[in-house]
Chains A and B, each alone.
Chain A
Amino acid sequence: MPLLKDGRLVGEDAFQPVADDAALPESGAVLVTYARWQAEKEQLSGRNDPLGIVLPNTLDVLDFGAEAERFDLIVLTFPKFSDGRAYSQARLLRERFGYRGELRATGHVLQDQLWAMQRSGFDAFEIPRDDAAEAFAKAISTFSHVYQPTGDGRVSALKQRLAIQNKDGRRKQEAAE
């Protein structure tokens, strides 16, 4: 599955997915399920290599957020593109728990959702198409402004206008002086 990271196709995923019943490799970056993490916290925490986790979209991330920092990769799932729970999970992880590692969207990931995913804090996408990089570039440049603040730091229209008003005000004031 092509993996897009920071807008570019990544040749190979650095993380090796490990099934719940498979043995962990001695070393190297691995991706485990939330269930496995629950069962083998100590053992997994002892590893020196990067650790990734796949969270089910039914998980209340408030119960997980405090541990987020421990991971280098968190994968959130979209079983269907119309199931939008992971958008909230993503924002909470980024904005409430300050997670800075890779946040990856997997599942039914479509071009027309990339914009919203990126605004919600995703920086990596498993997307089943060869022209993923072009599709992504097009998707995220669809809109020049945003109406609401999210963790992506873009300034909302409401505040953009305030800044314009204040600048105009200062200019008028200076002209009057």
Chain B
Amino acid sequence: MYEYDDIDQTLVDERVAQFRDQVARRLSGEISEDEFKPLRLQNGLYLQLHAYMLRIAIPYGTLSSRQLRGLAQIGCTYDRGWGHFTTRQNLQYNWIKLEETADALADLAKIQMHAIQTSGNCIRNTTTDQFAGAAHDEIEDPRVWCEIIRQWSTFHPEFSFLPRKFKIAVTGSPNDRAAVRVHDIGLRMHKNAAGEIGFEVIVGGGLGRTPFIGKTIRDFLPKQDLLSYLEAILRVYNQFGRRDNLYKARIKILVHEIGIEAMREKVEAEFAASKDGALKLPQDAIDQIAAQFAPPAFEKLSGISAEYANAFRTDFEFGLWARRNTFKHKQPGYSIVTISLKKEGAPPGDASAEQMNAVADIADRYSFGEIRVTHEQNLVLAHVKQSDLPAVFKALKAYDLATPNVGLASDIIACPGLDYCALANARSIPIAQQIALRFKNWERAHDIGELKIKISGCINACGHHHVGHIGILGVDKAGEEFYQITLGGAADEQAAIGDLIGPALNTRDAVDAIDTLVETYLRLRNSSDERFLDTYRRVGLAPFKEAVYAVA
């Protein structure tokens, strides 16, 4: 894992001091709220419905156990003993006081964390595959590149006042778990014909009001050119992205309006002029960062562990959990464990301080003290010995953290919605809770299999509804909460924007409609191997639409 050196620590400390001074100048009236707003936003501080919300960056979703304990502690001191993990691999505290934020940030700095650029029109926290450095299908560890991007983009003087926010995601695996096609820039590592590893660069993806799947601007970019190329894209965007309309300011609109060819021409010209400059990455600089992501000291194991096989056979609940919540590791004898933060009926992504401390302890004991946050609002133990899986299951279960539903219908992504968010049209969390309860029966849920339901409380799409197999969008109809349903979205390497099935439904009908959609799928599928999404792609919208609106 990456550890701060003196340079990183000094910068984060200096940032806290700077913000403390800015808060003081705001409280004294020296700067106006209008002038203060971007300053606080660049430090992750949002004004919400009931209080300030503080958004903490978890760079590329990687945490040490010490950091997780620190977050739990900060949650107790400045919030109400909770933290909320988000789709951006960040953590949010929902009940923060302005006067205390500088202290909270100082406490964060002590655990090598911060809230820098978690908001505002700048380059945000770079996200990646939660299984980075562990997945069996990985070409190269993308965290190395995320860290290089983190450093380059932090306090970037040229790009602190972009037309709009800017999000970069990286995947090191052909199976995209980082949704790179719906980010402003997506980077997909792959090998070219000569066997060299580099990046496919994808630009102009995004969700929100006008969703777009990103387009490939370059098939293969050599690694040493990464930062020059990113800077070229950002420079074109900073100058030519629209600033006249907030809703048209993302890079996706620029790419859409001038076309990917014109965009490529501008970016390549800029890149050609700067590629051999100071941003070119020397191999030894790459190596120096990469060394910090060296694999942990794995044991050499072979064959299937007896404890694991035995538990699988004798403990039904364990078997269910192991089938759903573990993933194949690249190191023989190890597994990746996903910790579900989606116990049916609980707010998706919420974790209590007690749970965070428990996960930190379990990580120390069984997973080299490392934890990941996923964009699906779960946590991950990346390196667990298979023989330890039964013990890990038991330990997690004691804290309600072993719900065997990863990837299933109740593993729902939901934004904060009207319970917290000032922009919301409708609540997201209660509807997620109601839907999840419908799929509490494990037999039915496992029979249905992979089904990604994603919910946003308004068109800003923080809950990724456009790319849900089933997407749910809260809308306001004459002061009442209504929900629009879309089908067939996907965020992976076959990314797609979902299709609207018809008029919006009220809360009760929307929850019923999800049941109806699932029943329709079960009736139509060819076999239990055909996932909801596959069936939808095969048969199309009509039978689903019919089923939902026939009832209503």
Contacts and interface: CB of A to CB of B under 8 A. Distances in A.
Interface of A: 60, 81-85, 87-89, 91-92, 95-96, 110, 112-113, 115-117, 119-120, 142-150, 156-162, 165
Nearest to B120: A82
Interface in B7-59: 7-8, 10-11, 14-15, 17-18, 22, 31, 35, 38-39
B39 A144 contact: no
Contacts of B281: 158
Contacts of B273: 96
B157 A143 contact: no
28 contacts: A60-B239, A81-B161, A82-B38, A82-B121, A84-B121, A84-B238, A85-B238, A85-B239, A87-B157, A113-B161, A116-B158, A142-B18, A145-B11, A147-B151, A147-B154, A148-B152, A148-B153, A149-B278, A149-B279, A150-B157, A150-B158, A157-B151, A158-B148, A158-B285, A158-B288, A158-B289, A161-B7, A162-B282
B35 A119 contact: no
B10 A145 contact: yes
Contacts of A115: 157
B35 A89 contact: no
Interface SS of chain B = helix
A161 B152 contact: no
Q: Which residue of B148, B157, B243, B278 has the most chain A CB atoms within 10 A of its CB atom? A: B157
Given A85-B238, A87-B238, A148-B152, A110 B35 contact: yes
Given A82-B161, A149-B278, A88 B239 contact: yes
A144 B11 contact: yes
B278 A165 contact: no
B28 to A, nearest CB: 14
A81 B35 contact: yes
A164 to B, nearest CB: 9
Contacts of A161: 5, 7, 285, 288
Interface in B121-161: 121, 148, 151-161
A167 to B, nearest CB: 13
A159 B285 contact: yes
A119 B159 CA distance: 12
A160 B7 CA distance: 9
Contacts of A88: 158, 235, 238-239
A144 B158 contact: no
A145 B18 CA distance: 14
A113 B159 CA distance: 12
